[in-house]
Amino acid sequence: MTQSTPQVCILGGGFGGLYTALRLSQLSWEGFTRPEITLVDQNDRFVFLPLLYELLTRELETWEIAPPFEELLSGTGIRFVKGTVSAIDTNAKQVEVQTSNEAQTLPYDRLVLALGGETPMDMVPGAAEHAIPFRSVEDAYCLEEKLRALEDSDKDRIRIAVAGGGYSGVELACKLAERLGDRGRVRIVELSDKILRTSPEFNRESARKALEDQNVWIDLETSIEAIGADEIKLQFKQQVDTIPVDIVLWTVGTKVVPVIEALDLPKSDRNQIRINPTLDVIDHPEIFALGDLATGEDADAQKLPATAQVAFQQADYAGWNVWASLTNRPLLPFRYQNLGEMMSLGSSSATLTGLGVTLNGPLAHVARRLVYLSRMPTLEHQMRVGFNWMTKPLQDLLGAAVPPSQ
């Protein structure tokens, strides 16, 4: 009797989902039936989130940090479905996906949950209506449109408030302050008593100095009480002040998407799915979960932080363990390596700490770019982007040397 083809369904095309799919497609299936691998995402492009900020200062182009899935998956045998996951039936082992044309039902023998999280926009009154999150290319385009309108206006000052003094908030503030120059009035609003609370001291101090040099205001121990169309209410030491604002960027918090909240799987009090060190869901060996929506410990009992670095490393293990579960091999427990952290502090400056190395300034900027280049999803895309980065200074020089046509 002919063995049926196993179905592997991977939900989410971020670091966790896409890299799991690519890893799985590269493994040998000799002696076993090669599965049909389906990757589902609501967008048609992968987004290399750590470089999304570079769109604002026009250092990078969209194709470099957000290549289409069809391009990345060409020749891999991975099927891509663009659609929104509307329901997951773990008893029937099938996923409901709503595409632009129809609803599809995708059966699975193995399911990988890598849908990531979303920014909660209901934490203060007015945030959903007037603030902008920063997690997608669409968010970057929305911000770009508002910035251009303000830059083309006759406003003397462009006032921007960034909610949250974490990694995203600091990088956004640096990029925007650099872009707007003397015309910009950028402030970070942080509830705690310091920015980058979980960051190494070297990176925190480098960031503080960069923000100071860019004249970014930092409001510590300050809460946002409400956001209006052109104002924001801030509370500091029981006193509420209302200040004018043109743009509010919301970088605070993350939550799992509703379809994950609805799942009847073991979860934490934050609705994250509980996983074993082998990344399979507790009591559900056919389901694997990674990234922001999962919580657990690795093989060394380390609590796993919800960062892109963790999802990137988990994907290698997830791909291997899905393969192992289908080829009757033992699963490998995930071991997380904290390789440090990197942050952009402007178009030619960054800071990084990790593996005994601390750098800031232009050298850290180059190192950060090279590390991220090596982590891009396919060798072909790495080569295209790397070539563009190497030749861009020459292109800019030639472009500046050629006089405009009459």
Q: Per the domain annotation, does 331 fall within a domain?
A: no
Tell me: do 178 and 267 sit in the same domain.
Answer: no
Tell me: do 95 and 135 sit in the same domain.
Answer: no
Task: Name the band, by pLDDT with cuts 50, 70 and 90, for residue 308.
Answer: confident
Tell me: do 157 and 186 sit in the same domain.
Answer: yes
Three-class SS of 294-357: EECECCCCCECCCCHHHHHHHHHHHHHHHHHHHCCCCCCCCCCCCCCEEEEEECCEEEEEECCE
Tell me: do 185 and 277 sit in the same domain.
Answer: no
What is the DSSP secondary-structure string of 54-73? GGTTTSS-HHHHS-BHHHHT
Of 326, 353, 368, which marks where a domain is finished? 326
Read off the pTM: 0.92
CATH number of the CATH domain containing 89: 3.50.50.60
The pLDDT tens digits for 189-203 are: 999 999 999 899 999
Which pLDDT does position 327 carry in this prediction?
Answer: 96
Tell me: do 153 and 207 sit in the same domain.
Answer: yes
Tell me: do 242 and 163 sit in the same domain.
Answer: yes
Which pLDDT does position 2 carry in this prediction?
Answer: 45
Tell me: do 284 and 322 sit in the same domain.
Answer: yes
Tell me: do 135 and 246 sit in the same domain.
Answer: yes
Cβ atoms of residues 131 and 247 within 8 Å: no
The pLDDT tens digits for 106-142 are: 999 999 999 999 999 999 999 999 999 999 999 999 9
3 state SS of 286 = strand
Tell me: do 90 and 162 sit in the same domain.
Answer: no
- Its domain, for residue 361, covers 343-397
Give the tokens for residue 401: 């040397």
State percent of the chain over pLDDT 70: 96
Tell me: do 197 and 310 sit in the same domain.
Answer: no
CA dihedral 274→280→284→287, nearest 10 degrees, is 110
Structurally, the chain folds into a number of domains equal to 3
Tell me: do 189 and 284 sit in the same domain.
Answer: no
Residue 406 has pLDDT above 50, yes or no: no
The pLDDT tens digits for 381-403 are: 999 999 999 987 666 655 555 55
Q: Per the domain annotation, does 74 fall within a domain?
A: no
Q: Per the domain annotation, does 390 fall within a domain?
A: yes
> Mean of the per-residue pLDDT values for the chain?
93
Q: Per the domain annotation, does 159 fall within a domain?
A: yes
Tell me: do 142 and 288 sit in the same domain.
Answer: no
> What average pLDDT does range 155-182 have in this prediction?
96
The pLDDT tens digits for 243-260 are: 999 999 999 999 999 999
Which pLDDT does position 397 carry in this prediction?
Answer: 58
Residue 206 has pLDDT above 60, yes or no: yes
Task: Name the band, by pLDDT with cuts 50, 70 and 90, for residue 101.
Answer: confident
Task: Name the band, by pLDDT with cuts 50, 70 and 90, for residue 41.
Answer: very high
Give dist(CA 390, CA 113) in Å, integer.
37
Q: Per the domain annotation, does 62 fall within a domain?
A: no
Residue 305 has pLDDT above 60, yes or no: yes
Which pLDDT does position 404 carry in this prediction?
Answer: 54
